[in-house]
Structure 1
Amino acid sequence: MEHRGLFSSLHECLNAIESKITDLSTKHCIIKGKINIIRSDGLSGPGKSASICLYSCTQFDPNTNKGKLSERACLKNGKSNKHNGTKIITYQLKFNVEPDFGIPGAFVINSQHKHKFFLQSVALEVPDHPQIIHFDCNSWVYPVRKTKVDRLFFSNTSYLPSETPKALIQLRKEELISLRGDGTGERKEWDRIYEYDYYNDLGNPDKGGEHARPILGGTESHPYPRRGRTGRPPSNQDPSSESQPETINLDIYVPPDERCSPKKLSEFISNSILAIVHFLIPEAKSLFQQDHSSFKSFDEIRAMFSSNRSQAMEGWVAEKLKKLVPDELFRKITHASKGKPMKFPLPKILADEFAWKDDEEFGRQMLAGVNPTVIRVLELFPPRSKDGVESSIKASHIEHNLDGLTLAQAMGQWRIFILDHHDYIMPFLKKINTEDVCAYATRTLLFLRNDATLKPVAIEVSSHEDNEINRVFLPAAKGIEAALWQLAKAHVAVNDSGYHQLINHWLKTHAVVEPFIIATRRQLSVMHPIHRLLDPHFKDTMHINALSRSILINSGGILEKTLFSGEISMELSSVLYKDWRFHDQGLPADLIKRRMALDDSEKPGGIHLLFEDYPYGADGLEIWIAIKTWVTDFCSLFYATDDSVKSDVEIQEWWSEIRNVGHADKGNESWGYQMTSLPDLIEALTTLIWITSALHASVNFGQYAYAAYPPNRPTLCHKCIPSEGTMEFAEFLQDPEKYYLGMLPTRFEMTLSIALMEVLSRHTSDEVYLGQRPSSEWTDNVEVQQKFKKFGENLQEVEKRILERNKESRLKNRWGPAKIPYKLLYPDTSNVGSKEGITGKGIPNSISI
């Protein structure tokens, strides 16, 4: 009886447990997931010290006005692996949720870990749901003791504001508000805050009056795009300027999501240091000792590119460097440089030793070099300044060089072109020209020959003492006239180099895009489809711009040391920002404005090139059409009508903030688009993507090929073109080549400039290119994925046509005397070419260097 009673009790107990388990299973279901974290050197993974809660996007909680919230789940069972050289830790997630929890649409992560970590992605499997739910995070997560709040992420599903699930509306609003900040306080590393500021950090008045610089932005005299605010305290000498650290600041604040990866940052810095050390170790006793001597021969300059050197970072260099950068970064740089050979190829312009001197190559680089967006058709002869003052170039100067045409005939056929660097330089010549620098404002006229090559026919150089003084130089094959012509071409190249670096490269890509990034983060939710469209085109730009403000465009920075414009370089870019118009930045509009193309609605892109052999224009148009087709396809999936654009509150606030805050110094006439229709949106987005990808690639990645040999594109001149009867002219007559070499930048200036060209031209190892995304799960929308695949296929077809054009011998401008094939707008979607090194190949999605 006792045994039977015990058995009966156990049986009843087991039945009760089984009943309880059954009851629990009907009240809960299990959502499983994986979370990928990129492991950073010296930082451990978070493990169980981090936990996640899910928000439902289908079940609304009236008590919170948000989606239902799950219980917390900790990160478990971390396993390390490598993907494309990146160390990744994958953790398992398991959520017990109620059966009616619905579909997760967001999650919050709480980190009690002592370190920050980089959260790459999360994937969730929901019972009875056909698709895996992806979260493409790609963001730093900081300890909650620093941030004071959990970090929120939304799934990869996109919604227009009016179509946001009710359960996510409040989360969407709160997230945007949290990113805007209140405009006060100094920003800390972990702050995800996007605010605007003037360029008030270029000078360093506390270091002395010679380091004071005008504040750019906010005034009629010095308009400029806004930058991201850091909130550093004001300087002591000038409260309107931001204070600067005593040493090079490589740790300037940018919001965490805009920061370069640790790998990329250490790669960028080590490349910069190695480039400088490579040239300066043989030349100087100290890394920062300036050698003001000049080269004695062209062979001596060419010898700088010897590829036989292989030197580790010498101890004295390491000691200097250690004082300039944080310890953690110093360790990464020395590790990256250990045993790394310092070998640099000859710049491509030197494949033919004398090609750079050729007049045809001089003209070709205006069509296919690194600054192909300045040359334009001359519509009125003689050229004249904005105030109506006529040039000194006469018809008699050039008519004998027009292949039998009269000037009137050549003008009527649109065959006279001008490279105009006159009006914007003239007011600054007194400031620029010192005892050590000689600059002119220049105009260069060229004639379009029957084979579509450009023949320079006259160069006018203007100087400014009390009145403008003009001299005209004409091409010559030999003798003193030929030597003077070479001097004139050098001064044209100096102007063009400065305009290229300050305006077409820095201002018209880097600087003008930063307000678009800030406005996108502040006004477009990450759930917004346009945010997802634009996001890859903003990668690393704010961080690169911040580094530039610290070492490149600041007082005493590299550009002031190497460009003819010196201390007034950024002030000059401010003057030219006055002429900037967003609606002119699209390629078709730009080509038409310069009369390099004509309106033609029957042609792809709506325009017809003036002549076929314009490599930048021909390749660029195909890239532009591919981008616009992709943007049109994408936008048409989310916007059915013009009204749907007008009623999109986030898009309207975004466009308003760009115009009225980010580019507040520009009037309404600078924009062209009112954002009241779908075509407005498509045109604006196409223009923005064009600027960040193709335009930047075309003016950046060819720099080493052309500008790393300073005689081809000098950045400043130390001597003027001598006038007859002067001692300088006697010196010139005695040895024209020696005079030319003495006119060029000094050894120090050349080496610094070459090092900069090498760093800027180098594709980094983690670059993502046009037509690519870092993850195939960047969107859960199947139709978007199909359209994006079509975009990649279109770019592959463009590649084929570019290669075909480069094989056509009749298209002389695609190679030229220097034999440099035009590939600056070659997409390279198949990744055949090496992405590292000085390649000039491939179009990155973003301005990331």
Structure 2
Amino acid sequence: MGVCPSVEMLQKLLEEFFSRNLMKFGYGRGKRIRGSVVIMKKCLLDFKDVKASILDRVHDFFGNGVSIQLISSNPPDSGERLGVGKLEKWTTTVTPSLTAEEIELRVFFEWEERMGVPEAFIIRNNHRSQFYLKTVTLQDVPGHGGSVHFVCNSWVYPVHRYSYDRVFFSNKSYLPSETPEPLRKYREEELVNLRGNGVGELKEWDRVYDYAYYNDLGMPDSGKKYVRTVLGGSGEFPYPRRGRTGRKPAKTDPCCECRLPLLSLDVYVPRDEQFRNLKFSDFLAYGLKSIVQALLPEIKSLCDKNVNEFDSFQDVMNLYEGGITLPNEILGSVRELVPWQLFRELMRSDGRQFLKFPVPDVIKESKTAWRTDEEFGREMLAGVNPVVIRRLEEFPPVSKLDSKTYGKQNSSITEEHIAEHLNGLTVHQALDMNKLFILDHHDSLMPYISRINSTSTKTYATRTLFLLQDNGILKPLAMELSLPHPQGDHHGAVSKVFTPAESGVEGSVWQLAKAYVTVNDSGYHQLISHWLNTHAVIEPFIIATNRQVSVMHPIYKLLHPHFKDTMNINAMARQILINAGGILESTVFPGKYAMEMSAVLYRNWVFTDHALPTDLIKRGVAVPDPSSPHGLKLLIEDYPYAVDGLEIWSAIEKWVIEYCSLYYESDEMVQEDTEVQSWWTELRNVGHGDLKDEPWWPKMDTREDLIKSCTIIIWIASALHAAVNFGQYSYAGYLPNRPTVSRRFMPEPGTPEFKELETDPDLAYLKTITAQLQTLLGVSLIESLSRHSVDEIYLGQRDTPDWTSDEEAAAAFERFGNRLREIEEKIMMMNKDEKWKNRVGPVKLPYTFLFPNTSNFYEEEGLNARGIPNSVSI
């Protein structure tokens, strides 16, 4: 009776057999190249892959596993079939484990010096399951004198999932016209594959980048309550394009795409755009609270009846000091509705407390400093929405709304309202001295106020005037709260003006006025400053780049790190955040009109205005000054966002100039770059197609156009997003400081509400702003969005030092990192300098949102309110 050989023995015999027989096909006559292949190890938690993993071992047993075929940039004419290798020890090394881990496999190739340098390879996965290919490195390549690196970072599915070969290119950059002829067809074919054919529903293994309208937010099949306007493709509601999924149309409205089940996060994006395992687990861990509370109506219904009001500010503090005690009936229902693991996540150890949150930075040092006028003004310059404040150029403020439709909308603030607060100046003196500034949400919101107030929300369109004092602090002078005329919009606005007061019922009214202004600012921040101006506008750039610019292109290598995870987080947002009945509609005052409003305001989006110097000048907070380091002078010297932002902007711009100058010696080279020209044409005409005829688009005829455009893209994706995102929990995690909803109007004298304001101003304040359930949802969401991932890659960093073979490009990038480290030190020094009042403020919260985080000073992830990730990654 024979002995059954082990898998290892059979594998060794098979290797010897193939080694002997490869000689017959021309293998073995050259030098042997040793290669290392880094892949992501399978995770046992990926249950659907268990069966496939077993079959993979069988395939390897019979020698039909994963193979790599090298492609030379200068092959010989003989057509000899050299350069095919099989990954070794797959069955003994790539075994499922409890965590997703990186492992290194070996591969060998027969290669001769006359074959040239391998600069691409085709990989064939004959297994039944996919794997994540990180890198391939070829060592001791004949005639090359070193290693050849391939940075892959891609999921490779079984060969039967593709109608083409999976090809990867080395880290060497080529402009299209400079591409070696043997690589040219692979370069062109790969772009064709990534574009797809524009039809059919896309599956997880598809690698297609394509465009669609925002027609997947509504759920018309669920009733009129969930019908939403299609955004994009029309003059009335223009919008940037999002990634196409190809899902079938809704039954009741063929213009809308059908939606996935509410709790599903399996929205199609190209597989390589999906979160990696570590990032996805982070997202789930910190997002579970908001997802479950928003999407399970049973929990919402129960909470509405039992925990919908805060009775005091201590009730709010209990969110951070002890959580909320729930009645047994709710605890039982929650336990029945959610999995046990999630139930444990939601509950504290005593089993009764629900949702205890970290203490937001704004109340760590003082529980009341947020209420001061000084802090209110400071947050316009160093808070989560420091991109709206502008200089007042004429008094009283004027409206740009069409007077035929909206009547008189100019401000009703008079000099008498503010004279006693101008520190002895007249209005005209203050204007001439550039000391008057305005936070103006009037024109943005007035067209929607009537519709918004027809719901449970009761709010105003607001204007707020500030005086810049000699110590750099912005002092609020007056707040104007406006409503449409009750007889119709065309009759103009009905406005009330409120001025500062510190005590009595007047002080309580002033606090409420600030709350209404902050509600406006919170909604504008989430919808426009954050979602529209970073998340939404960047997605078309990602799609166009992948469709039209090869991975071999130097511009692809420049921009690609700034696109990481954006399509995935945007897809999840469409599924659970900005959709009909989603978290945003439940927690931010415009409610079901939120996304439609953002489409109307997208009409005013100007790509070139997002160059930081241009933005600051346009808002009147800076003036050109050729003698200054950044070419302009800030009119608010102590403006932390602008001060730190200009440093970061200049560092990015210098890096892009140095990098692009390595590859483009003239404007003609830009004009003759077929991929860059196709990229820019498609971006304008399709990706941002609703604004394609705007005159402000760069023509992409010069190096200056290319440099400016790439700098703006990187700025938006990295620093601008960091400035408006990662400080959210620090300030808005405490909802009284940044309320997102107002539920009743300013109380009138003689009413019960006004009496309550006199006798219990705190209770009146809490009854006016965000309710308890909305607060739970909002704080849960903000906590998730404000966290840095453990695998975050920050500005000035790359995921591998081998991202390019160009030594000059690598040296320029190192200089970029060094500049960012110098900026870090400068920011830390300024935050310690007490003369800069707005960098810390009454709440003792240093401005660190534009801290690059390239050094080892702050490596911890989470709610650290500092660090600029490369991309819009959360």
Question: TM-score over 0.5 for the alignment?
Answer: yes
SS state of the match for residue 424, structure 1?
helix
Distance in 2 (CA, whole Å) between partners of 1:215 and 1:289 is 31
SS state of the match for residue 858, structure 2?
coil
688-697 vs 105-114, which deviates more? Answer: 105-114
Distance in 1 (CA, whole Å) between partners of 2:346 and 2:106 is 37
- Contact kept? 2:293, 2:300, Cα under 8 Å: no
TM-superposed deviation, 1:434:
2.9
Distance in 2 (CA, whole Å) between partners of 1:791 and 1:290 is 56
Change over 3 Å in CA distance of 1:582–1:262 after alignment to 2:
same
Report what 1:191 is aligned to.
206
2:74 is matched with which residue: 53, 58, 62?
58
Distance in 1 (CA, whole Å) between partners of 2:735 and 2:25 is 80
Distance in 2 (CA, whole Å) between partners of 1:470 and 1:818 is 32
Distance in 2 (CA, whole Å) between partners of 1:434 and 1:829 is 49
- Contact kept? 2:27, 2:81, Cα under 8 Å: no
Change over 3 Å in CA distance of 1:770–1:656 after alignment to 2:
same
Report what 1:568 is aligned to.
593
Change over 3 Å in CA distance of 1:637–1:392 after alignment to 2:
same
Change over 3 Å in CA distance of 1:146–1:86 after alignment to 2:
closer
Report what 1:28 is aligned to.
30
Corresponding pairs, count:
816
Write out aligned runs for 1:1-80 (5 A): 27-42=29-44, 43=49, 48=60, 49-59=65-75, 70=82, 72-78=84-90, 79=93
Report what 1:345 is aligned to.
358
- Provide, for residues 607-664 of structure 1, a one-character-per-residue CA deviation record: whole Å limited to 9, x for no partner: 1211320000000000001101111111011111111111111111111111110000
Report what 1:4 is aligned to.
none
Report what 2:147 is aligned to.
132
Report what 2:178 is aligned to.
163
TM-superposed deviation, 1:736:
2.6
| 2:675 counterpart of 1:650 | yes
| 2:449 counterpart of 1:432 | no
Change over 3 Å in CA distance of 1:197–1:435 after alignment to 2:
closer
Report what 1:410 is aligned to.
430
- Provide, for residues 648-684 of structure 1, a one-character-per-residue CA deviation record: whole Å limited to 9, x for no partner: 1111111111111000011443644211111111111
TM-superposed deviation, 1:689:
0.2
- Contact kept? 2:38, 2:133, Cα under 8 Å: yes
Report what 2:384 is aligned to.
370
- Provide, for residues 101-135 of structure 1, a one-character-per-residue CA deviation record: whole Å limited to 9, x for no partner: 22111111111111111101000121232121001
AA paired with 2:35?
Answer: G
Report what 1:391 is aligned to.
411
Report what 2:544 is aligned to.
519
SS state of the match for residue 509, structure 1?
helix
Percent identity among equivalent residues?
48
AA paired with 1:423?
Answer: D
| 2:840 counterpart of 1:815 | yes
TM-superposed deviation, 1:446:
0.3
2:816 is matched with which residue: 788, 791, 801?
791
750-759 vs 605-614, which deviates more? Answer: 605-614
Write out aligned runs for 1:686-725 (5 A): 686-725=711-750
TM-superposed deviation, 1:783:
1.0
Change over 3 Å in CA distance of 1:179–1:38 after alignment to 2:
same
Q: CA RMSD in A?
A: 3.0
Change over 3 Å in CA distance of 1:24–1:582 after alignment to 2:
closer
- Provide, for residues 573-607 of structure 1, a one-character-per-residue CA deviation record: whole Å limited to 9, x for no partner: 00110000000011101000001111122322321
Distance in 1 (CA, whole Å) between partners of 2:798 and 2:823 is 19
Write out aligned runs for 1:686-835 (5 A): 686-835=711-860
AA paired with 1:475?
Answer: P
Report what 1:458 is aligned to.
478
Report what 1:379 is aligned to.
393
378-387 vs 288-297, which deviates more? Answer: 288-297
SS state of the match for residue 121, structure 2?
strand
SS state of the match for residue 89, structure 2?
strand
- Provide, for residues 176-214 of structure 1, a one-character-per-residue CA deviation record: whole Å limited to 9, x for no partner: 111111111000110100110000000000011110000
Write out aligned runs for 1:499-538 (5 A): 499-538=524-563
Distance in 1 (CA, whole Å) between partners of 2:748 and 2:866 is 44
TM-superposed deviation, 1:364:
0.3
Write out aligned runs for 1:132-151 (5 A): 132-151=147-166
Change over 3 Å in CA distance of 1:51–1:564 after alignment to 2:
same
AA paired with 1:347?
Answer: P
- Contact kept? 1:582, 1:672, Cα under 8 Å: yes
Distance in 1 (CA, whole Å) between partners of 2:96 and 2:200 is 40
- Contact kept? 2:120, 2:170, Cα under 8 Å: yes
| 2:713 counterpart of 1:681 | no
- Contact kept? 2:29, 2:110, Cα under 8 Å: no
TM-superposed deviation, 1:72:
3.1
TM-superposed deviation, 1:804:
1.0
Distance in 2 (CA, whole Å) between partners of 1:729 and 1:659 is 53
225-234 vs 476-485, which deviates more? Answer: 476-485
829-838 vs 169-178, which deviates more? Answer: 829-838
247-256 vs 388-397, which deviates more? Answer: 388-397
Report what 1:172 is aligned to.
187
- Contact kept? 1:26, 1:99, Cα under 8 Å: no
| 2:128 counterpart of 1:114 | yes
Distance in 2 (CA, whole Å) between partners of 1:581 and 1:291 is 47
| 2:337 counterpart of 1:320 | yes
TM-score (normalised: structure 1): 0.91
- Contact kept? 1:310, 1:343, Cα under 8 Å: no
- Contact kept? 2:790, 2:862, Cα under 8 Å: no
Change over 3 Å in CA distance of 1:123–1:81 after alignment to 2:
farther
Distance in 1 (CA, whole Å) between partners of 2:233 and 2:526 is 23
Change over 3 Å in CA distance of 1:631–1:253 after alignment to 2:
same
- Contact kept? 1:642, 1:678, Cα under 8 Å: yes
Change over 3 Å in CA distance of 1:310–1:500 after alignment to 2:
same
Distance in 2 (CA, whole Å) between partners of 1:410 and 1:154 is 61
SS state of the match for residue 244, structure 1?
coil
2:494 is matched with which residue: 469, 481, 485?
469
TM-superposed deviation, 1:508:
0.2
- Contact kept? 2:538, 2:717, Cα under 8 Å: yes
Report what 2:636 is aligned to.
611
Q: What are the ranges of 5 or more consecutive residues in structure 1 without an aligned counterpart?
A: 1-17, 323-329
- Provide, for residues 790-824 of structure 1, a one-character-per-residue CA deviation record: whole Å limited to 9, x for no partner: 11100000011101111111100001111100000
Distance in 1 (CA, whole Å) between partners of 2:397 and 2:817 is 44
AA paired with 1:72?
Answer: V
Distance in 2 (CA, whole Å) between partners of 1:109 and 1:511 is 34
- Contact kept? 1:280, 1:751, Cα under 8 Å: no
AA paired with 1:103?
Answer: V
- Contact kept? 1:54, 1:69, Cα under 8 Å: no
- Contact kept? 1:279, 1:304, Cα under 8 Å: no
SS state of the match for residue 483, structure 2?
strand
Distance in 1 (CA, whole Å) between partners of 2:24 and 2:249 is 66
- Contact kept? 2:275, 2:568, Cα under 8 Å: yes
Report what 2:566 is aligned to.
541
469-478 vs 238-247, which deviates more? Answer: 238-247
AA paired with 1:267?
Answer: D
Change over 3 Å in CA distance of 1:663–1:21 after alignment to 2:
closer
Q: What are the ranges of 5 or more consecutive residues in structure 2 without an aligned counterpart?
A: 1-19
TM-superposed deviation, 1:482:
1.0
TM-superposed deviation, 1:61:
6.2
AA paired with 2:602?
Answer: Y
TM-superposed deviation, 1:100:
2.6
